[in-house]
Structures are given as structure tokens and as C-alpha cells.
Amino acid sequence: MRAILNGYRFLNTLSVDVALGAMVSCLFLCSAFGVSVSWQTVLCLGLAVWLIYTVDHLLDAKRMKGGATTPRHQFHSRNFKIMLWLAIAGAAVAAFLLLAIETGILIVGVVLTAFVMIYFLLLKRLSVAKEVFGAVLYFSGVMIPVIATRPEGDFLTMSGILFFLLVLINLILFSWFDLDADAEHEHKTVATQLGSKGTRLLLGVLYAITGLYLSTGFYAVISQRLWFTFIAMYLLLLIVFIFPEWHKKDERYRVVGDFVFFLPLAYLIV
């Protein structure tokens, strides 16, 4: 069991689980909205998400110049050249996969790529908006096939909005747990700007809004399978929030938080 956990933590350090979670989320949302998607699109999305996270960690590691305190940044600092070459290889594979992707999806992907570039260019200035911008990018990324198929905005229904709220909670929750490390390295995040109490209050409001959204009529609008999937994701994130001390040890919050996006596998399989 310990070997399995250590293996998962290693994948978590490499952000592989985040990329796989994005692929699962894409398949989940496409299924929920009745949109078909090719395996090339899903794989390309996974690589894109992995590249964004890896480049972000490499930039952080370079800025810290050997002073990294978190296991993830220490790993990327020690293995900077290897991770850089892996990122280049991943980008090459993603570029090759683009040849097999539908034009509509490709156009939406190009627009989203432009926003990703803006994100990295304005990374130091985003401060509180960083998590919101990150949530929008992640949500838009996993929704690319749906957005391309429904450009009139049908993707902004209850399912879409609720998924976005869960992504936003996830990112702000991570920011809350990473407060001390981010403050030490002068990273601008929601938590460093609002403080622990302010961030906890913001999370409480977001949990309340999401909980009300789930309970007031949401069950009647979508299928039971879809509703229970969202409930499971919400409750798992809520447990992390309610028991912070246990989840802070060995960065359990990060493992659980990333695992949340694997829960839709049950929806896809059942």
C-alpha cells in the first residue's frame, strides 16, 4: 500500500495525475453534454495541461534559485534540464497530434493558447486573479470540444457552472494550504493577499454557493448519475477543508484535491 501511495505521490510531483484528471474531466463533460470527442483531442489536452503545469513549476524553480521548499519545486529544481527536455518532447508530440484534430476544436484551442501565453506573461501581476484566471483556463481547456460544438453558449448550463465552481474551490484550497511557502517566496496568490482567515472565509462562501446550487433544484434538472458525481466531488473537497491539519501532512491535500477529478470515471464506467 505504501508503495502505491509513494508511486502516486511521484506522479503527483510530475503533475501526471493532473493531466490524466483533465483528460477524465474532458471525457466526463463531453458525455454529460452529449458531445463526441476523438482520442487525439483528449490526449493532446492531457499533454497541454501537463506542459502548462510543468512550465509553471520550472519557472518557479528558476525564480527560487535553489531555495525551493516544497517537494514539487525541489524536484523540478534538481531535475531542471531533464524536465525541460521532457517538456520540449511533450510539446512536439502535442504538435503532431494537432494534425488529426477537428478544425473547430483547433480554433478554440488556438484562442485558449493565446490566453495561456497571457497568463504566463502576467503571472507576477495577477495576484488575487491568478486562481480565477487559472480556473477559467482549466475549465475552458477541458470544455474545448463542448465549446467548439456549442459556440452559442449552451455549455454555460448548470453542469458547466458547477464544474467551474469546483475547479475554483480546488485552486483556492491549494493556495490556502500553500500560504506559508508562497509567502516565503513572495508569490502572489489569493491566500497571500487575503491571509489565512480571509481565504478561509472566501472558501466558506464558495462552498455555501456550490452546496446551495447542488441542493436547490439541481437534482431535478440533470440525471441522477451526473448529480451524484458532482456531489461526490463536492464532498471530497469539503472534507479537505473541514480537516486541514490531517490533509496538510505530506501534502495530502494535493493528492486528494487532484484525485477529485478522477471521480467522474465512475460516471463514465457505470
Q: What is the pLDDT of residues 70-94, one digit of tens each?
A: 778 788 888 899 999 999 999 999 9
Q: How confident is the model at residue 115 (pLDDT cuts 50, 70, 90)?
A: confident
- Look at residue 184 and tell me whether its pLDDT is greater than 80: no
Residues whose CB is less than 8 angstroms from the CB of residue 165 and which lie 6 or more positions away in sequence, other chains included: 206, 209, 210, 213
| Average confidence score pLDDT of the chain | 86
User: What are the backbone angles phi and psi of residue 5, rounded to the nearest 5°?
Assistant: -65, -40
Number of domains in the chain: 1
Cell of 110: 488556438
Supply the pLDDT for residue 151: 62
Residue 10 vs residue 262, higher pLDDT: 262
267, 229 Cβ separation under 8 angstroms: yes
Helix axes 80-97, 39-64, angle to 10 degrees: 150
CA distance 34 to 91: 29
Helix axes 252-259, 224-242, angle to 10 degrees: 170
Amino acid, res. 22? A
- Give the best-scoring range by mean pLDDT among 68-77, 225-234, 243-252: 225-234
pTM for this entry: 0.89
Residues whose CB is less than 8 angstroms from the CB of residue 96 and which lie 6 or more positions away in sequence, other chains included: none
Following CA atoms 247, 249, 252, 254 in sequence, which dihedral angle do they give, to the nearest 10 degrees?
90
Amino acid, res. 35? V
Q: What is the pLDDT of residues 200-223, one digit of tens each?
A: 999 999 999 999 988 876 666 678
Residue 120 vs residue 11, higher pLDDT: 11
SS3 243: coil
Instruction: Give the domain extent around 138.
Output: 2-269
Q: What is the pLDDT of residues 128-156, one digit of tens each?
A: 567 888 888 899 899 999 988 876 656 56
CA distance 33 to 167: 18
161, 143 Cβ separation under 8 angstroms: no
16, 50 Cβ separation under 8 angstroms: yes
Q: How many residues can be counted in the chain?
A: 270
